[in-house]
Amino acid sequence: MFHGDHDNAPLAKTLSFACVHFFVAFCVGYLLTGSLVVGSALALVEPLCNTVAFYFHERAWNRLSARRDAARTHDRFRGGGLMPTGA
């Protein structure tokens, strides 16, 4: 679907997670209450909130990982004697 397109990978992962989450929320709501209405409401509201939060969490996590990787690369470059330490 989004294979190889790194900008859309968090969105694809989010949508996959949302499908599982909707199903689980509905089942839990229905099993606890016996009500299709309550199960459906939980399946829509709770996962929707968590899905939006997860998407932004994933984006932030990827940014932090990229910054950490860049810092490691910078440290290796400077530590390897390729750049004067005073530069």
pLDDT in tens, 65-76: 999 988 888 777
Domain count, the chain: 1
Average pLDDT over residues 1-20: 76
pTM, full prediction: 0.49
CA atoms within 13 A on the CB side of 4: 0
Establish if 1 belongs to a structural domain: no
Q: Which domain holds residue 49?
A: 10-78
CA distance 28 to 54: 20
Confidence of residue 35 (pLDDT cuts 50, 70, 90): very high
Establish if 3 belongs to a structural domain: no
Confidence of residue 6 (pLDDT cuts 50, 70, 90): low
Establish if 34 belongs to a structural domain: yes
Establish if 56 belongs to a structural domain: yes
